[in-house]
Amino acid sequence: MGSSQDCSRRYRFRFALAAEFFAARWLANLVVKRETLSRDDIAKAGRLLDRHTTTVDTFLEKVSAFLLKEPGAHIDRGFSKLFAAVSQRDRMSSAASRAQSALVHLALNLASVRSPSGPKIERTEAFVTLLGGTRTELRELRVEGLLSALDLSGTAVVDCLFRNAGFVRCRFSTSKGFEECVFEGSLVFQGCEGLAEQSFAKCRMSPEATVAIQQTVGAQGAFSVSEIQIRDGLRDALRQMGAPSRFHPIDEPTRRRGKLAASVIGESIWDALIECGAVEEKNIGRGREGSLFSVKRESVSSVVQFMNSGLATGSVACALETLKKKHLH
């Protein structure tokens, strides 16, 4: 016989499953059976969806299963209405837009089930319809997590927020892309095609997103590098050798770690610092793997000034100008 504590855990587990089941059914009914959405309906839907932001979990799978029992036209009409209402709620309340992200993932799941092995274009059309967009434009999405297997080659993605997001096996084009979007935190592109620099017109990006995009489009044409990125890269390189009050040498494996390891201009930054005399390389055998890198004694004051105030003088100014000539267009 189990203890009372074991029984209590089992009951809590069963209650949680039952609660999730009824919540999923309520949300599905809200989509397909309510002609109008009250403020309380929208608030409750938002609270449920706020917990399921970055991927399709068991709760969203249950919602999807309930919805797929209904006629497709009812789903499309009701889903786009709920998405518009939740989006409006988030804009009015300055919320974190997590519920919108959950609905985006739910829409992608529904579209994938409807077109499990068809062309990406069919899945994308179903996805766009659910979100109330058009084949040529998706506007004001708020997304966390990965979106997969979409054909966005004819779609402009406008004024959207992507937070710790990514795209897997998606198709883009140079004529349409992201316009005035914001990329916060990390960004991933896996197995995507058709991306180019012009795919990101007037977008704002975190440093991590900038590096991810540069690496992705590098094979098709260099993505623009900004002076801010160059300055940040110089700081990252110099910071690896310690604080201004106690610089120390680092070896080759250490030099290749950190943020610069993933940067498309990482090696250029080190080359410029060495060429301009801000950093010296001493070989102690075994080729470059045996090298030690340190701030050159004559350049300590220039390096300290740059790290403390951002003012580039002496050898650091030389490195900065060298990098600007090489990477700024």
Whether 11 and 65 share a structural domain: yes
Higher pLDDT, 12 or 321: 321
Q: 74: Cβ–Cβ under 8 A, 6 or more apart, which residues?
A: 32
Token reading at 217: 């489009």
Structurally, the chain folds into a number of domains equal to 3
Whether 236 and 315 share a structural domain: yes
Domain membership flag for residue 257 = yes
Whether 175 and 203 share a structural domain: yes
Q: Indicate the residue among 69, 85, 115 that finishes a domain.
A: 115
- Determine whether 7 is exposed, middle or buried from the number of CB atoms within 10 Å of its CB (0-12, 13-18, 19+): exposed
Domain membership flag for residue 127 = no
Q: Indicate the residue among 72, 88, 115 that finishes a domain.
A: 115
* 227-265 residue pLDDT tens: 888 888 899 999 899 877 788 888 888 888 877 777 778
* 173-221 residue pLDDT tens: 877 889 999 999 999 998 888 887 667 878 898 888 888 888 777 644 4
Q: What's the rounded Cα separation, in Å, for the pair 318 and 296?
A: 14
Q: 284: Cβ–Cβ under 8 A, 6 or more apart, which residues?
A: 290, 291, 292
Q: Indicate the residue among 115, 150, 175 that finishes a domain.
A: 115
Token reading at 126: 């179903």
Whether 91 and 42 share a structural domain: yes
Q: What's the rounded Cα separation, in Å, for the pair 121 and 189?
A: 19
Domain membership flag for residue 89 = yes
Contact call for residues 138 and 156 (beta carbons, < 8 A)? yes
* 33-46 residue pLDDT tens: 877 888 898 888 98
Q: 325: Cβ–Cβ under 8 A, 6 or more apart, which residues?
A: none
Whether 108 and 190 share a structural domain: no
Domain membership flag for residue 8 = yes
Whether 146 and 204 share a structural domain: yes
Q: What's the DSSP call for residue 298? A: G
> Is the pLDDT confidence value at 329 over 70?
no
Cα(first)–Cα(last) distance of the chain, in Å?
A: 75
Side chain identity, residue 113: V
Whether 102 and 143 share a structural domain: no
Whether 199 and 255 share a structural domain: no
% of the chain exceeding 90 in pLDDT: 35
> Is the pLDDT confidence value at 324 over 80?
yes
The residue range of the domain holding 55 is: 1-115
Whether 157 and 239 share a structural domain: no
Whether 209 and 233 share a structural domain: no
Q: CATH code at 196?
A: 2.160.20
Q: Sign of dihedral through CA atoms 272, 276, 282, 285?
A: positive
Full-prediction pTM beyond 0.85? no
